[in-house]
Amino acid sequence: MLRFAVRAGLIALVAMPTSALAWGRTGHAVVAEIARGYLTPKAAAAVDALLASDPDVLTERDLGSRASWADAYRRDHRETSEWHFADVELDHPDLAEACFGFPASATPASAGPAKDCVVGRLDAFERELSDPRTDAAERLLAFKFVLHFVGDLHQPLHAADNQDKGGNCVPLALGGSRTVNLHSYWDGVVVDALGPDAKTIAASLSAKITPSQRKAWEKGDARSWAMESFAVAKSTAYAVGSAPGCSNDKAPVALPEGYAERANAAAALQLQKAGVRLALELNRAFN
């Protein structure tokens, strides 16, 4: 199975706005802002207390910014690189294989193991966050990792692979000289299409979530949510028709007719689910 250490949506754009660099910063902020609207008063107070107590300068200290903290932390902590995704292969979907057999978590959870996937790490940090006996500094780390990993889990190309480094080896032609790889397209382009900024996008998406949808989305766990994201990757993200594998001479793939609209709709739904499920995780931890 091919692995890729840097899965934060490294983008290869020509003549594209830098805002496209953001489920990077914008997408993760959207998830956090949606989640805030579903927090219980007790959970909201606990979240605000953690944010206020955190001196870390890697990101701003508001909830939306802290949702990208784990990406910033990874730059100097490469041992956390593989925690952000699960390379479930399209041709033989095996979550356990993608997750290194679900290894036992170290104590504290921030100690690893390095060979783990987003599913195992989310579960480990959620357990720590829910345990009031967890050391205060470790609980703060757990909070920031949970905040980020729920978002990662819902980016379809963080839960799927076609021997192409999660779409990083698939160049797309966007017209003229503009190109972007498939992974980065889903990290940023689909999110930017939903609105001018994270708060606006979150407000719009939150307003469309029905009580019945929220109830349905709160079912399941990290494993089932990962396979749900995999299904979106297989049916929608990889519908560009790219061949498996990586090579330096791949010609950019033109987007099929209607692909952008389907991708935008799928991304919006994934962001909504992630927001609801992040709130679920935080409410469980703090209530």
Tell me the whole-structure pTM to 2 decimals: 0.92
Distance of CA 185 to the CA centre of its chain: 14
Q: Nearest CA to 118 among 78, 91, 140, 87?
A: 87
184: nearest Cα among 29, 17, 67, 12: 12
Among 118, 147, 117, residue whose Cα is nearest residue 286: 147
**Which range among 15-24, 84-93, 199-208 shows the weakest confidence by mean pLDDT?**
15-24
> Across the strands, what pairs with 180?
172
Q: pLDDT tens across 76-115, in order? A: 999 999 999 999 999 999 999 999 999 999 999 999 999 9
Quick one: what percent of the chain has pLDDT higher than 90?
89
Cα gap 127→125, rounded to integer Å: 5
CA distance 161 to 177: 26
pLDDT classification of 177: cutoffs 50, 70, 90: confident
Q: pLDDT tens for residues 121-142? A: 999 999 999 999 999 999 999 9
The full set of domains in the chain, from first to last, is: 18-286 (1.10.575.10)
Residue range 46-51: average pLDDT?
A: 98
Burial, 15: exposed, middle or buried (Cβ in 10 Å; 0-12, 13-18, 19+)?
Answer: exposed
